[in-house]
Structure 1
Amino acid sequence: MSDTIQAPFSILFVDDDEMSRTHFARAVRDDYRVHLAQGADEAMALLQEFGSEVAVLVTDFRMPGRDGGHLLREVAQAYPQTVRILVTAYADKDMLLQTFNTGDLFRIIEKPLRMESVREVLKQAVARYVERETRQQRLLAMDETLAFLAHELNTPLAAISLFARSVENDVAQEYDPQRQQEIGTAATSMLNNAQYCLTLISSFWATVHKSGGPQPATGSAAREVRATRLVATLLDSYPFAGSQREWIGLEMRGDFVVHAMPNCVALVLSSLLSNALRALDGCPAPSLRIEVMNGPEPEIRLHDNGPGIAPEIKARLLLDPVTTHAGRGGHGMGMIFCNRIMQSFGGGLRIESTVGEGTTVTMRFPGIRGRVHDGVNEAASDSHAA
């Protein structure tokens, strides 16, 4: 097995017999990292320390103290993502029905262990673990997307409601020119907030429909969503105002398959596009360049020549709800959730910005090893306003 596959996973083997533990470790350590325990208590202690990396638990049934059945049930509750395998002698079979039903077993392996068979079972068990982790990441991405939408839409809509109430209360009153200007400003803010909400929703759903909906689990080539197609679909469906579409240029330096949930990636891309267009509003010669770059770690970059972001604001953008668009309904939560969505795929966001020159937002996708090398730490220090 290659280092790429080996690195993220480990196997926990539990047996009170030292010779069995040594034999097992020698047989599989070239393929996996191995943790060894001689009983249920030691196994739980190891899981508490290494549970995030243990893909498979292999435990003997008959052990002093708590037996393997008890351990399997405890692990099923505390670490449901871990695939569980039971090792037993032929004489134990009559006692296994309850263990099988309550421990959610993947396989039962008979003693004496035949290591070629064990390696094949472990390969299948790790595949099952990867399936579970992928499903969990998709659920996490969906949770982040829903949270993102809730935050992105709630504050603008609340502002619309507040301004509308203010206009309604003042409409029958006589007011001086200053008050007229205040009401006009409030009406403009209402329009900007409403347009942002409609843009976000319509762009996202149009992209979903044009990309053919959710991708099949098999990932067949005919249904693959590639980055260039995702960008093109967004630009075709985005409700640009005035001459905004003319501000945008494309630079395709390769292409790659978006293995993460394309619809969620489209939502992030749509939000970044909205941010960039808002930053460019009022610029004398607005320009937005979108780049698709393939490589060991694929990227989509959005570079605008807007006013840029002050260093003290940029440093906090993915950590605190700060924004450069407060006057137009921004609240600073959008980039936090965009980054979390990208992180749930193993990627992240990176921001480079110079005041007076512009901002570059980079969507970083998992590379050949499944994650960007420094996605979490780097993304936590760099970002763009929402």
Structure 2
Amino acid sequence: MNTEPTGVTHGPLGAHAILMVDDEPQACKWFARLYGDEFVVLTAQGVDEALALLTQRGAEVAVLLTDYAMPTRDGVSLLGEVRQTYPHIGRLLVSAYADKDVAMSAVNQGQVEKILEKPLDEALTRQVLREALAASRERARERALLERRAATLRETLGFLAHEVTTPLATVQGYLSAMRERHRDAPADGSGDARIQEQKPGEVLFMIEAAQRRAEYAQSLVSTFVQTARDAYQPDTSPTLRASQLVQAVRDEFPFDNDEARWLTSDVSADFVLPGRRDLLYLVLCTLVKNALLALRPDPPRRPSVHIGLGLESPTPGLPEQAVIHVSDNGPGIPPDVLKRLTFEPTTTRAHAGGSGMGLIFCRRVMTSLGGSILVRSEAGRGATISLYFPSTRQTRTPDQEKP
């Protein structure tokens, strides 16, 4: 039997129903009729019928209320199995027996959260059902939060593995090149071992470039370690300023040759970032890397990657939001690619090993913070990626709050 109270909508809300189990049909009908005005009530006549119903509709059930004395298998046995298979379901036991040993056993083994005595007191039963329903929803919320955090960790780890591969491969390439140029010392002791340069300064260049990439790879790994440590910690108040994030990228990103000079920034409209440094650092590094890769094949006379902070509306009619813009003056993004960016893996560098996952990762991080990402580009006139953050009023710095 299933009774839906008028005006109550549950479908997409997850677990919401009360499952009442009793081998007496009249007891099931009475319970559904009496409490169906407030709760979604499902009923089952016995343990086997209850388990069969849970197999089909377990995700809907938030609370299980079962009689103790039933033929074949008792209610405590049912609650024990439900505890193992459906941990989100609140477990209540109804008993007409003054058997304290049964009650204590059920409570001590964790099969039951509360015991009600027959005949049921309506007011007390309603209150117990409300509390059990609220507790079940809280468990479901916490479980969903943990699952989201675990998914974020898995996704970040995959992205990190991809990002670390490139600088480490470059380091390996430089080391191999130096190994090929290595010349052993003469056997007669007339000289020292050396690395033969094909052009002046190339060995020092390879050493410095390898060092920059090793340091960047190390910073990415440290970022993931911090993400893993923080994943299951309570959320904390935001303390990172956007200007600090920009400076971290300037200091730690492994620029090639004179590419560091291409990067400029304006952090005068500084603000406090929501969330933690780790994922946002990965996001900003990814956007800077993509801008540099767009410029490298055919750099203009004055190549430029600019990071700007601001306060603006992402689209007309929406409130102003804190924003980080990353702009370049490269070739721009073709219109057909632009339509797909941030929604599906899309790359203009498949020939160079690009996977198109970078911008997807950035979008998911911004969405998890309650923000958004916007890509603007015109052919031949570069591209701008904008990161919009929520809660403008809370993210402004103290200096900006002054009149």
Shorter-chain TM-score: what band? 0.5 to 0.7
The aligned counterpart of 1:155 is 165
Contact 2:377 2:384 in 1 (8 A): yes
Contact 1:193 1:329 in 2 (8 A): no
Which deviates the most, 164-173 or 66-75? 164-173
RMSD: 5.2
> Residues 158 and 204 from structure 1, CA distance in 2 versus in 1: closer, same or farther, beyond 3 angstroms?
closer
How far apart, in 2, do the equivalents of 1:297 and 1:94 lie? 62
3-state SS of the aligned residue for 1:96?
helix
Question: Structure 1 residue 286 and structure 2 residue 293: aligned?
Answer: no
The aligned counterpart of 2:120 is 113
How far apart, in 1, do the equivalents of 2:179 and 2:88 lie? 56
> Residues 272 and 135 from structure 1, CA distance in 2 versus in 1: closer, same or farther, beyond 3 angstroms?
same
**Equivalent residue runs for 1:55-94 within 5 Å:** 55-91=62-98, 93-94=100-101
Superposition deviation, residue 72 in structure 1: 1.0
> Residues 284 and 13 from structure 1, CA distance in 2 versus in 1: closer, same or farther, beyond 3 angstroms?
same
Find the structure with the greater CA-based Rg. Answer: 2
The aligned counterpart of 1:376 is none
Percent identity over paired residues: 28
Q: 1:235 aligns with which of 227, 240, 245?
A: 245
Kindly tell me the number of residue pairs found equivalent between the two proteins. 341
> Residues 30 and 225 from structure 1, CA distance in 2 versus in 1: closer, same or farther, beyond 3 angstroms?
farther
Q: TM-score, normalised by structure 2?
A: 0.61
The aligned counterpart of 2:177 is 167
Superposition deviation, residue 3 in structure 1: 7.2
Q: 2:18 aligns with which of 1, 12, 18?
A: 12
How far apart, in 1, do the equivalents of 2:324 and 2:361 lie? 18
Superposition deviation, residue 114 in structure 1: 2.1
3-state SS of the aligned residue for 1:277?
helix
Gaps of 5+ in 2: 184-195, 252-259, 296-302, 392-403
How far apart, in 2, do the equivalents of 1:109 and 1:298 lie? 54
> Residues 354 and 337 from structure 1, CA distance in 2 versus in 1: closer, same or farther, beyond 3 angstroms?
closer
**Equivalent residue runs for 1:1-386 within 5 Å:** 7-16=13-22, 17-29=24-36, 31-91=38-98, 93-144=100-151, 146-147=153-154, 148-149=156-157, 151-152=159-160, 155-156=165-166, 158-159=168-169, 162-172=172-182, 190=210, 193-200=213-220, 225-226=237-238, 229-232=239-242, 235=245, 238-241=248-251, 244=263, 246-247=265-266, 250=269, 262-263=275-276, 266-281=277-292, 282=295, 284=304, 286-289=306-309, 302-306=324-328, 307-308=332-333, 315=340, 352=375, 354=377, 356=379, 357-360=383-386
Superposition deviation, residue 235 in structure 1: 3.1
Which deviates the most, 81-90 or 48-57? 48-57
The aligned counterpart of 1:373 is none
Contact 2:153 2:228 in 1 (8 A): no
3-state SS of the aligned residue for 2:64?
strand
Whichever residue aligns with residue 246 of structure 1, its letter is: S
Contact 2:326 2:386 in 1 (8 A): yes
Superposition deviation, residue 152 in structure 1: 0.8
> Residues 66 and 152 from structure 1, CA distance in 2 versus in 1: closer, same or farther, beyond 3 angstroms?
same
Superposition deviation, residue 60 in structure 1: 1.9
3-state SS of the aligned residue for 1:270?
helix
How far apart, in 2, do the equivalents of 1:54 and 1:354 lie? 49
> Residues 32 and 251 from structure 1, CA distance in 2 versus in 1: closer, same or farther, beyond 3 angstroms?
farther
Q: TM-score, normalised by structure 1?
A: 0.63
Contact 1:292 1:301 in 2 (8 A): yes
Superposition deviation, residue 301 in structure 1: 5.8
> Residues 206 and 47 from structure 1, CA distance in 2 versus in 1: closer, same or farther, beyond 3 angstroms?
closer
How far apart, in 2, do the equivalents of 1:309 and 1:43 lie? 58
Gaps of 5+ in 1: 366-386
Q: Residue by residue, what CA displacement relative to the aligned partner does 1:298-320 show, whole Å, maximum 9, x if unpaired?
A: 98765433445875598587776
Contact 1:55 1:83 in 2 (8 A): yes
Which deviates the most, 190-199 or 33-42? 190-199
Contact 2:153 2:227 in 1 (8 A): no
Whichever residue aligns with residue 167 of structure 1, its letter is: A
Superposition deviation, residue 278 in structure 1: 2.1
Contact 1:9 1:32 in 2 (8 A): no
How far apart, in 2, do the equivalents of 1:131 and 1:66 lie? 30
* More contact order relative to length (CA 8 Å, sep ≥ 6): 1
Which deviates the most, 146-155 or 105-114? 146-155
How far apart, in 2, do the equivalents of 1:41 and 1:293 lie? 58
How far apart, in 1, do the equivalents of 2:68 and 2:365 lie? 41
